Amino acid sequence: MPRTGDRIKPLRFLITGGGTGGHIYPALAVAGGLRDRHPEAEIIYVGTDRGLEAKLVPKAGFEFYAVPAQGLKRQLNLANLLVPWRAGKGYLMSRRLIRQFAPHVVVGTGGYVCGPVVMAASRQGIPTFIHEQNALPGLTNRLLSRFADRTAVTFVDAVKQFPPKARVILTGLPVRPEILQADRKTARKTLSIGESEQVLLSFGGSQGARSINKALIATVQHYAFQKGTRLFHASGPKGYSELLDDLAARGLNIEAIPNVTIASYFYEIADLLAAADLVVCRAGASTLAEITVLGCPSILIPYPFATANHQEHNAQALARRGAAVAVRDSELDEGRLHETIVELLSNPHKLAALGRASREMGKPRALDNILDVVERLAGGQTR
């Protein structure tokens, strides 16, 4: 551990990642893990004032600094003319901040802001660590991997997407403590679900997914009032009323169907995941990290408009290993989702095989794996 004379010098960590929750929440998980391991450490977070991080980071109790950063639009856009200027300004501001703060390690989790911050650290000889959440790495992380001391990935499929000289390690993606602590038997007792009942859990992310809502109607019709099967579906706040209206038009009053629960959002998602026999969801990296840690069999429906179609790559990373069945969003209108649900719920051996493969892909020690590497980069025995 670094020392000044006989006095132990506290560790300093700079965390950066921004734009979307997919970059910010892993960064906050790492920041929180470092704070738990090293209560005396100084930790700051660098993002942009335009991303969600500007609101989420201060709420999490970390000191926040904003620097300019902007990505290229995929189509012709005058805003692209500002990208080099903002990147240059962001780099200079990051360089000045890093010189003043003198972090022992800089940790980046993706997003445009990581570019100037990680590059500024690397050029000043500061150890750098970046984490890629998806099976198809983002452009920023692919470029930064050439300079980073370590590049961590969630999926082994991502390794081959980086330059040959990148120092890539498989760590997994940190998941929330309540997911790690969830237990099937306890969860079912909490939710009043019988041990022999089959449970289908479906959702389309925090905001829901209209295409999934529409496709689930046939499944609700099929299993309504069917003893031994429970359905839980989160429609998202915007799609809730529309879904209830669609069901009502087919003579289905959800309040009168005891084995079907539809809500705009499930706050008890950890218990529901632990209790589920089959999960239907999008293929965001954080969701997949959670379902594999719990060993959930799943039907994955990648969001078709995700950047570089990265959710398709995430879904296929599981499907290729027999841990999930992938169904494209474009196939939902054809009844493919309903057919797949019925087929799987009627085949316990197939569900068990999917569950085993899912658990084999899970990385319950992902956060510890990451923290161990960051500590080694910091130098010295810190634990």
pLDDT in tens, the chain (383 residues): 454 444 567 899 999 998 888 899 999 999 999 999 999 999 999 999 888 899 999 999 999 999 987 554 445 444 444 555 566 788 899 999 999 999 999 999 998 899 999 999 999 999 999 999 999 998 889 999 999 999 999 999 999 999 999 999 999 999 999 999 999 999 999 999 999 999 999 999 767 789 999 999 999 999 999 999 999 999 999 999 999 999 999 999 999 999 999 999 999 999 999 999 999 999 999 999 999 999 999 999 999 999 889 999 999 999 999 999 999 999 998 789 999 999 999 999 999 999 999 999 999 999 999 999 999 999 843 44
pTM above 0.95, yes or no: no
Strands (DSSP E) found in the chain: 3-4, 7-8, 12-16, 42-47, 63-66, 105-108, 128-132, 150-153, 168-170, 198-203, 229-234, 260-263, 278-281, 298-300, 325-326
Separation of alpha carbons 327 and 178, rounded Å: 28
CB count in 10 Å sphere of residue 212:
26
pLDDT at 8: 61
For 90-107, what is each residue's pLDDT tens digit?
A: 889 999 999 999 999 999
CA distance between the termini of the chain: 9
pLDDT at 4: 45
pLDDT at 315: 98
pLDDT at 70: 53
- Contact by Cβ (8 Å): 70, 79: yes
Q: Which residue type sits at 52?
A: L
Separation of alpha carbons 186 and 217, rounded Å: 30
The two most distant CA atoms of the chain are separated, in Å, by: 78
> In this structure, what token pair is assigned to residue 257?
């169907």
pLDDT at 50: 82
* Domains of the chain with bracketed CATH: 3-175+364-378 (3.40.50.2000), 178-361 (3.40.50.2000)
Query: What DSSP letter does each residue of 100-120 carry, written as one string?
Result: HH--SEEEE-SSTTHHHHHHH
For 339-361, what is each residue's pLDDT tens digit?
A: 999 999 999 999 999 999 999 99
Query: What DSSP letter does each residue of 296-365 carry, written as one string?
Result: --EEE---TTSGGGHHHHHHHHHHTTTS-EE--GGGGGGTHHHHHHHHHHT-HHHHHHHHHHHHHH--TT
CA proximity to 188, closest of 180, 197, 179 = 197
Separation of alpha carbons 378 and 27, rounded Å: 17
Q: Which residue type sits at 253?
A: N
